[in-house]
Chain A
Amino acid sequence: MSFHIFKYSLKSLVKDKKSLFWMLFFPIILATFFNLAFKNLMSDEGFEKVKISITTDYEMPDGLEQVMSESNLFTISYLTEEEAKKRLSEQEITGYIKNSDGLELVILESGLNQSIAKVFLDNYVQVSATIYRVIDENPQLIQTGFLDTIDFNESFTKDIPVSQSMNLIVVYYYALLAMTCLFSAIAGCYISSIIQANQTDLAARINIAPTHKLKAFLSMVSATILFQFISVIILMTYISQILNVDFGNRTIHIGILCLVGCFTGTLFGAMFDCLTKFKSEVNEMLVSNFIMIMSFLSGLMVVQMKYIIQEKVPFIAYINPANLITDGLYALYYYETFERYYLNLTLLVVLGIVFCIITTLVLRRQKYASI
């Protein structure tokens, strides 16, 4: 490897606005959008209890307080009506319940919390009136355990296990990391175009220099992998430290997978450019489209796609570098063992080596029919 070419390739990547945008800023922007979209889903609080007061100036029906507290919907405070009015006007509580001429909910404005309190109270009044009437007419029902079958709580919320929603969201971020690793393919494409004399004038100039073509190629590839890997580290730091997304504690394993992802991505781009006859700009566009398709299949846009592909066409999942990275990261996060992680890592390495061999064979001692 030539340190001279490596140094200047790295320098030119850092100074190239297009590379910086696609390989670093674009993924950061996407991560930010993901965060905005998933903010509420990532929160483990989910539902905030309704603050309600029960006035102490009146006697409340038996069981009301018990039913309210069992519903898990309310934070209950006990105040005089005067205090409750004051708290309500200061918007410290959603409303208060008094029992002057029947149960009554006092609120100042309409909203979700107010509706929950009202529906709950209406439900309580209706059910309790029904019970009194039924028991008046059939007192023997108390002996048969009738009261135990009564449910005062209408279903206002639905339980979704936090871990399940976390699964889906983290997969989005994993797919984003995979996409970022694979964006190195665009730079790989560029490398290939400046190493083949029939593609650019710059390539012709490099080709007539007394530097072995593969040595120059590998130096440029190494610079690209390093640059992309640094971009991935910056992105991961941003996602975990600024956006507070938990990637687990297997940082070294994540790093290794991303590094191999950058290697495979770079060589995918280089191979693509070697095998096609299009101009380098066209190839770069095609490669970026390919990466987006790979990322889509690994769940970047629709997370279920990852599972559909894995179930219906597992072969695609195994040869899709984006899926291998995503799945490897997923395995690290959710499994105690490393089997699935190593399977993905191995497949990714194999793919990278295959891309490398094909590129090397095409580039080797190449002379061109036309320039």
Chain B
Amino acid sequence: MIVKIENLVKRYDKLIALDHLNIEINEGEIFGLLGPNGSGKTTVINCLLSLLKFDKGNITLFGKEMRPSSYDIKRNIGLVMQNVAVFEELTVYENIDYFCGLYIKDKDKRKDLVKQAIEFVGLKDFIKFYPPKLSGGLLRRLNIACGIAHHPKLIILDEPTVAVDPQSRNNILEGIKKLNEQGATIIYTSHYMEEIEQLCSRLVILDKGKVIASGTKEEIKGMISLGEKIIVETFNITENHMDRIRKLPNVIDVELRENTLTIRQKNGASNLVNIMSFIAENDISYGKIYTELPTLNDVFLEITGKELRD
């Protein structure tokens, strides 16, 4: 086990930011911390890195207690922060070399690592650029390169795709998968459930400093009553039709948004044949019909009663 957080409590005066948090992260996994803004994700990271004092609990990394002076532990950690943290007066190359040099003393080895990091994030054509001259996406890539150039065993990425265009986001997510394939354990925090679903093998969902669900994606989705969703693109459905669908067996809820009808069903039940028959019997015109498994957003919605992006 690489990370073990036991009973972690962090208070800001009367506000409880982390409430008896327990997290375990195994070597080689991509672990997700999912939660809306203000749920405590970054606070967990800061406590983990011994940047923040906490009121109660234990944190061990690589089997040792984490302290500000635990340099042997720090040597194996890479951090990619939510905000870009680089020197504006240094070039892309100099920034990566600077941060890599805080971990790697050997000049030749460092030169190799910096080169690899530049190639990894695709900044080869920009090594002499200064950060203010880079676009948002390129800056994020530089931010990542500064955090991973020293080949850490544990990489913490705190919302690295905030305010990034879709193309750069895909590059970043692909890069994270590659890092994991190369052997790094990843902690990935986000409030984008799609990213967590795409990347993480295990995750915890945080809300108001508490773990409200934890496990693999499948385990977490299995925790809720919602099963498959049937989505129908329709043009002439009425309120009467919708009421009658609601009365069909195993249907939890029916919702119409513009021309898209979403029928939520109980976990483990399948109603596709019944719905298809209902549409045919009632001459309801339709376009596409397809089914969708519940998402983490559905999990969050069912547990907390609010959307993840709220």
Contact surface of A with B, Cβ cutoff 8 Å: 4-5, 8, 11-13, 15-16, 197-198, 200-202, 204-213, 216, 365-371
Given contacts A205-B79, A206-B102, contact A368 B72 (CB under 8 A): no
Query: Per a CB cutoff under 8 Å, which of B75, B81, B85, B97 touches A210?
Result: B75
Residues A11 and B90 in contact, CB atoms below 8 Å apart: yes
Given contacts A4-B101, A15-B89, contact A208 B94 (CB under 8 A): no
Query: Per a CB cutoff under 8 Å, which of B52, B90, B103 touches A371?
Result: B52
Residues B68 and A366 in contact, CB atoms below 8 Å apart: yes
Q: Which of A12, A16, A212, A368 has the most CB of B within 10 A?
A: A12
Query: What residue in chain B is nearest A13 (Cβ atoms)?
Result: B89
Kindly state the separation between the CA atoms of A200 and B85 in the bound complex, as whole angstroms. Answer: 8
The answer to whether B269 has its CB under 8 Å from any CB of chain A is no
The answer to whether B290 has its CB under 8 Å from any CB of chain A is no
Residues A367 and B83 in contact, CB atoms below 8 Å apart: no
Kindly state the separation between the CA atoms of A204 and B47 in the bound complex, as whole angstroms. Answer: 12
Query: What residue in chain A is nearest B76 (Cβ atoms)?
Result: A210
- Interface residues as binary, B67-98 with A (CB distance below 8 Å gives 1, 0 otherwise): 01101101101010111111101100010011
Contacts of A4 in B (CB 8 A): 98, 101-102, 105
Leading 3 A-B pairs by shortest Cβ distance: A201-B85, A209-B102, A210-B71
What are 8 pairs between A and B in contact, CB < 8 Å? A11-B90, A201-B82, A202-B85, A204-B79, A210-B72, A216-B102, A366-B68, A368-B52
Residues A205 and B81 in contact, CB atoms below 8 Å apart: yes
Residues A197 and B51 in contact, CB atoms below 8 Å apart: yes
Contacts of B68 in A (CB 8 A): 207, 213, 365-367
B149–chain A nearest beta-carbon distance, Å: 12
Contacts of B22 in A (CB 8 A): none
Contacts of A367 in B (CB 8 A): 50-53, 68
The answer to whether B144 has its CB under 8 Å from any CB of chain A is no
Using A11-B89, A369-B52 as known contacts, list a sample of 13 further A-B pairs with CB atoms less than 8 Å apart, ordered by residue number in A.
A201-B85, A204-B51, A204-B81, A205-B85, A205-B146, A206-B102, A207-B68, A208-B51, A212-B71, A213-B68, A368-B52, A368-B53, A369-B53
Residues B74 and A208 in contact, CB atoms below 8 Å apart: yes
Given contacts A11-B94, A12-B87, A204-B85, contact A368 B103 (CB under 8 A): no
Kindly state the separation between the CA atoms of A121 and B81 in the bound complex, as whole angstroms. Answer: 87
The answer to whether B46 has its CB under 8 Å from any CB of chain A is yes
The answer to whether B278 has its CB under 8 Å from any CB of chain A is no
Residues B85 and A209 in contact, CB atoms below 8 Å apart: no
By secondary structure, the B interface counts as loop
B291–chain A nearest beta-carbon distance, Å: 44
Kindly state the separation between the CA atoms of A365 and B68 in the bound complex, as whole angstroms. Answer: 6
Contacts of A12 in B (CB 8 A): 87, 89-90
Residues B102 and A368 in contact, CB atoms below 8 Å apart: no
B58–chain A nearest beta-carbon distance, Å: 15
Looking at chain B, what size class is its interface with the partner chain? 20 to 34
Residues B53 and A210 in contact, CB atoms below 8 Å apart: no
Kindly state the separation between the CA atoms of A216 and B46 in the bound complex, as whole angstroms. Answer: 20
Query: Per a CB cutoff under 8 Å, which of B51, B69, B89 touches A368?
Result: B51
B153–chain A nearest beta-carbon distance, Å: 13
Residues A208 and B77 in contact, CB atoms below 8 Å apart: yes
B117–chain A nearest beta-carbon distance, Å: 15
- Interface residues as binary, B89-131 with A (CB distance below 8 Å gives 1, 0 otherwise): 1100010011101110100000000000000000000000000
Query: Per a CB cutoff under 8 Å, which of B51, B75, B90, B105 touches A15?
Result: B90
Kindly state the separation between the CA atoms of A366 and B209 in the bound complex, as whole angstroms. Answer: 24
Kindly state the separation between the CA atoms of A116 and B74 in the bound complex, as whole angstroms. Answer: 83
The answer to whether B49 has its CB under 8 Å from any CB of chain A is yes
Kindly state the separation between the CA atoms of A301 and B45 in the bound complex, as whole angstroms. Answer: 51
Given contacts A8-B94, A201-B81, A205-B81, contact A16 B99 (CB under 8 A): no
Residues B12 and A8 in contact, CB atoms below 8 Å apart: no
Contacts of A197 in B (CB 8 A): 51
A235–chain B nearest beta-carbon distance, Å: 22
A208–chain B nearest beta-carbon distance, Å: 5
Contacts of B71 in A (CB 8 A): 210-212
Kindly state the separation between the CA atoms of A213 and B79 in the bound complex, as whole angstroms. Answer: 17
Kindly state the separation between the CA atoms of A8 and B94 in the bound complex, as whole angstroms. Answer: 8
Q: Which of A12, A205, A212, A366 has the most CB of B within 10 A?
A: A205
Contacts of B85 in A (CB 8 A): 200-202, 204-205
Kindly state the separation between the CA atoms of A371 and B85 in the bound complex, as whole angstroms. Answer: 14
Residues A370 and B12 in contact, CB atoms below 8 Å apart: yes
Query: Per a CB cutoff under 8 Å, which of B50, B81, B102 touches A211?
Result: B102
B42–chain A nearest beta-carbon distance, Å: 8
A215–chain B nearest beta-carbon distance, Å: 10
Contacts of B69 in A (CB 8 A): 212, 365
Given contacts A8-B98, A11-B94, A201-B81, contact A209 B51 (CB under 8 A): no
Query: What residue in chain B is nearest A18 (Cβ atoms)?
Result: B89
Residues B12 and A208 in contact, CB atoms below 8 Å apart: no
Q: Which of A13, A211, A366 has the most CB of B within 10 A?
A: A211
Query: What residue in chain B is nearest A205 (Cβ atoms)?
Result: B85
A169–chain B nearest beta-carbon distance, Å: 37
Contacts of A5 in B (CB 8 A): 98, 101-102
B160–chain A nearest beta-carbon distance, Å: 13
Query: What residue in chain A is nearest B55 (Cβ atoms)?
Result: A369
Query: What residue in chain A is nearest B80 (Cβ atoms)?
Result: A205
Contacts of A201 in B (CB 8 A): 81-85
Kindly state the separation between the CA atoms of A371 and B47 in the bound complex, as whole angstroms. Answer: 10
